[in-house]
């Protein structure tokens, strides 16, 4: 069995991990950094991902996508309220948000796939083998559409997603492995865009989730926006400049707000400095932890209601919880820790790096699936109730929230009119009474043989698999025949669309490789130009004028090529320059040798 990696596909950062000698470890990239910023930028030379793309946030905000996770499995109407800060253009097609980058539009799974590909590449470079299988984590409170979108992203990236697992439970696996804990634990996972609480019972290697709750639209992002809003108002009042007309500055402010927030986890006060677009004014202010906490208070308090609901569903009280585990970057804030401590009445655990623990847990789950780890088993639950719309627009619940998965329910359908040939079924997810208040997952039409009313008997099985994803099958009970069902997702890509996107991704893979090569070769060219420049200024006097001239010509040629789009041409010019500069480097070497030898006796040289 080929290796399976564990991936934490985060709102702000993503990571990839694998199991090494029975221990999960995160795979580092350049400069030993383990986190890949979940940012994708469209440049003139193609798409770039991660740290390099993050730099484009302030340079070219309209074509730089961040926090894509917030749009996974969503329609445009779902996200209207929070579009102020997103500088890229959103449209909708077939119930799925599309992001417009230049001429092309991309679905959120396609953007996520670019991040996944970067992680895949990173893992392949580190491990020296092809990676084609992965476990990917999602917030526990993700609904079916959001999970399906994540699975689609994996497919588009050329990864077989063997399992979608919940982030807090993944974290519990990493903790459990380390501590061999027994008892009841609460995992409080507060990340960049989502909040989850999961309550688990750990016993003899079984990790049984008792209840889970959360908010898929609550995270550090919200706080960054809150802080940025404060600064924007102050800038407007003090300098009369409305920054919302300047997308680059909006991003600068947002990133500055995020950095200040992070600094204030360790410091009590910090300094904010932002250059304003008029080119002469500068916004400065002191920002204190107290001010941050005033702004953050209600956002943090919004995490407490889901915690209470989860406890209630698990039929537990805070005193029944043996340990509280903190996951996600936002749990670094002292106020968050204080609130958690107050709610559960105990000091929360944060021994493992909250940024890495989810990826580590995903690697453990990957190892379980691969057959490496056999003593641990995760029994997770479905976070939301699943049901169908019945007469009068009411939701009839078939599988209750917090039911252990895999879970199934059967429902018998018949007809109300003689000769009726179809029954429409509308699948819903959520906790509300009325169908319209819940998430519409899919609709389909059940084919029924034309018979008198009430005679047909079609049994529909709703099965939620171990990924928390719904599968529907139907059987005609009279004929004993299985019926294939074409389910049209309300907020998702159809199978055909996903297939096209996979094809596209292969087609564009060539472009992406070119873009990547171009970045690398430009860096190399830059380095060569710098050293040649240095050599010329130090050693031009050592070589004849015509050689100097030919070096300068080669330098100009390389500079011109570097601005162009073709890595091959750049490499060619680099070779030319190296050749032209050879006499110079030889002359400089001779010179330094000569100078080194000066004053030494011949006897010392032999």
Partner 1 sequence: MDHHTRSTGSRNIQMARSMCWHCQSAMSGEYFCERCVKVQPVSKETDYFTCLGLPRRLIIDQNKLEAKFYEMSRAFHPDFYQNKSETEQTISLGNAATLNTAYRTLRDPIQRAEYLLDLEAGSVKDIRTSPPADLFEEILGLQETLEAYRASDRASQEGKDLHTQLLAEHEALEQRRRDMEQQLQRLFTEWDTLQDRGEASGQTRAERDRLLKQMREILSNRTYVKSIVNDLIETIG
563: which 2 tokens?
Answer: 């601005």
- Give Cα 101 distance to the centre of its chain: 19
Question: Between 112 and 373, whose beta carbon lies closer to partner 1?
Answer: 373
Per-residue contact flags (x/-) with partner 1 for residues 458 to 497, judged by CB under 8 A: -x---x-xx--------x-x--x-----------------
279 binds partner 1 (CB under 8 A): no
407 binds partner 1 (CB under 8 A): yes
**Region at 94 (left for phi over 0; alpha for psi -120 to 50; beta for the rest):** left
Q: Taking contact as CB under 8 A, which single stretch among the options 11-19, 333-341, 407-415, 580-588 is the one that binds partner 1? A: 407-415
DSSP tag of 384: S
DSSP tag of 416: S
d(CA 124, CA 285): 45
Instruction: Give the angle 159-167-328 at the CA atoms, nearest 5°.
Output: 120
378 binds partner 1 (CB under 8 A): yes
Which residues in the 190-229 window bind partner 1 by CB under 8 A? 203-204, 206, 208
Q: What is the dihedral of CA 286, 292, 295, 300, to 10 degrees?
A: 170
Question: Between 473 and 535, whose beta carbon lies closer to partner 1?
Answer: 473
410 binds partner 1 (CB under 8 A): yes
406 binds partner 1 (CB under 8 A): yes
Question: Between 214 and 387, whose beta carbon lies closer to partner 1?
Answer: 387
Q: Tell me whether residue 8 is one of the annotated catalytic residues.
A: yes
Q: Taking contact as CB under 8 A, which single stretch among the options 270-278, 299-307, 404-412, 525-533 is the one that binds partner 1? A: 404-412
Q: End-to-end distance of the chain based on CA atoms, in angstroms? A: 62
Catalytic residue among 144, 152, 167, 356: 167
d(CA 232, CA 276): 11
Contact by Cβ (8 Å): 426, 465: no
Contact by Cβ (8 Å): 443, 471: no
Binder of partner 1 out of 162, 177, 384, 448 (CB under 8 A): 162
413 binds partner 1 (CB under 8 A): yes
Cα→Cα distances 286→268, 315, 338, 375, Å:
11, 46, 24, 53
401 CB contacts (<8 Å, ≥6 apart)? 313, 381, 382, 383, 384, 385, 431
Counts of helices then strands in the chain (DSSP H, E)? 16, 30
Q: Tell me whether residue 69 is one of the annotated catalytic residues.
A: yes
Binder of partner 1 out of 25, 316, 379, 472 (CB under 8 A): 379
| Continuous segment of H or E residues that includes residue 146 | helix 144-156
Question: Between 83 and 377, whose beta carbon lies closer to partner 1?
Answer: 377
350 binds partner 1 (CB under 8 A): no
19 binds partner 1 (CB under 8 A): no
Question: Between 292 and 395, whose beta carbon lies closer to partner 1?
Answer: 395
Note the residues at the interface with partner 1 (CB under 8 A).
Answer: 1, 162-163, 203-204, 206, 208, 365, 368-371, 374, 377-379, 390-391, 396-397, 403-408, 410-414, 459, 463, 465-466, 475, 477, 480
Q: Which residues are the active-site residues?
A: 8, 69, 167, 189
């Amino acid at each position: 069995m080929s290796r399976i990696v564990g991936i934490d596909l985060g709102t702000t950062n993503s990571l990839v991990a694998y199991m090494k000698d029975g221990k999960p470890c995160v795979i580092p990239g350049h400069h030993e950094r383990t986190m890949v910023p979940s940012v994708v930028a469209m440049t003139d030379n193609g798409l770039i991902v991660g740290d390099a793309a993050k730099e484009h946030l302030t340079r070219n905000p309209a074509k730089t996508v961040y926090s894509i996770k917030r749009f996974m499995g969503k329609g445009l109407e779902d996200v209207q309220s929070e579009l102020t800060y997103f500088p890229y253009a959103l449209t909708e097609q077939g119930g799925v948000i599309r992001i417009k980058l230049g001429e092309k539009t991309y679905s959120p799974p396609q953007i996520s796939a670019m991040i996944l590909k970067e992680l895949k590449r990173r893992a392949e470079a580190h491990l020296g083998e092809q990676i084609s299988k992965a476990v990917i984590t999602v917030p526990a409170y993700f609904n079916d559409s959001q999970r399906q979108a994540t699975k689609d992203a994996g497919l588009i990236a050329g990864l077989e997603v063997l399992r979608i697992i919940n982030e807090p439970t993944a974290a519990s696996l990493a903790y459990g492995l380390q501590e061999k804990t027994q008892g009841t634990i609460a995992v409080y996972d507060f990340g960049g865009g989502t909040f989850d609480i999961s309550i688990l019972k750990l016993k003899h290697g079984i990790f049984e989730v008792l209840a889970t709750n959360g908010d898929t639209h609550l995270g550090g992002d919200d706080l960054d926006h809150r802080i940025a809003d404060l600064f924007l108002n102050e800038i407007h009042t003090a300098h009369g400049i409305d920054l919302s007309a300047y997308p680059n500055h909006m991003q600068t402010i947002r990133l500055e707000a995020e950095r200040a927030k992070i600094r204030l986890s360790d410091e009590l006060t910090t300094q904010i400095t932002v250059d304003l677009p008029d080119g002469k004014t500068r916004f400065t202010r002191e920002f204190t932890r107290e001010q941050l906490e005033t702004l953050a208070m209600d956002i943090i308090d919004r995490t407490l209601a889901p915690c209470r609901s989860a406890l209630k569903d698990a039929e537990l009280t805070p005193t029944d919880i043996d340990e509280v585990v903190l996951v996600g970057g936002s749990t670094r804030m002292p106020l968050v820790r204080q609130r958690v401590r107050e709610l559960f009445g105990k000091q929360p655990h944060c021994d493992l790096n909250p940024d890495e623990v989810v990826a580590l847990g995903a690697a453990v789950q990957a190892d379980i699936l691969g057959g490496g780890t056999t003593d641990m088993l995760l029994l997770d639950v479905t976070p939301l109730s699943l049901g169908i719309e019945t007469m009068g627009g009411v939701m009839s619940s078939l599988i209750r929230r917090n039911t252990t998965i895999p879970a199934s329910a059967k429902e018998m359908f018949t007809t109300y009119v003689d000769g009726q040939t179809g029954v429409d079924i509308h699948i819903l997810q959520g906790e509300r009474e009325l169908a319209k208040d819940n998430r519409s997952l899919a609709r389909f039409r059940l084919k029924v043989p034309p018979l008198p009313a009430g005679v047909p008997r079609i049994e529909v099985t709703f099965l939620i698999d171990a990924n928390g994803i719904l599968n529907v099958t139907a059987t005609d009970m009279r004929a004993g025949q299985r019926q294939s069902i074409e389910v049209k997702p309300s907020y998702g890509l159809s199978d055909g669309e996903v297939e096209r996107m996979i094809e596209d991704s292969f087609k564009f893979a060539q472009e992406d490789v070119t873009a990547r090569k171009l970045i690398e070769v430009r860096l190399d060219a830059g380095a060569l130009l710098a050293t040649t420049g240095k050599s010329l200024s130090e050693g031009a006097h050592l070589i004849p004028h015509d050689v100097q001239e030919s070096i300068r010509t080669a330098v100009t040629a390389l500079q011109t090529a570097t601005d162009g789009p073709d890595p091959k041409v750049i490499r060619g010019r680099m070779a030319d320059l190296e050749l032209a500069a050879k006499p110079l480097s030889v002359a400089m070497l001779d010179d330094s040798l000569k100078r080194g030898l000066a004053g030494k006796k011949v006897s010392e040289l032999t």
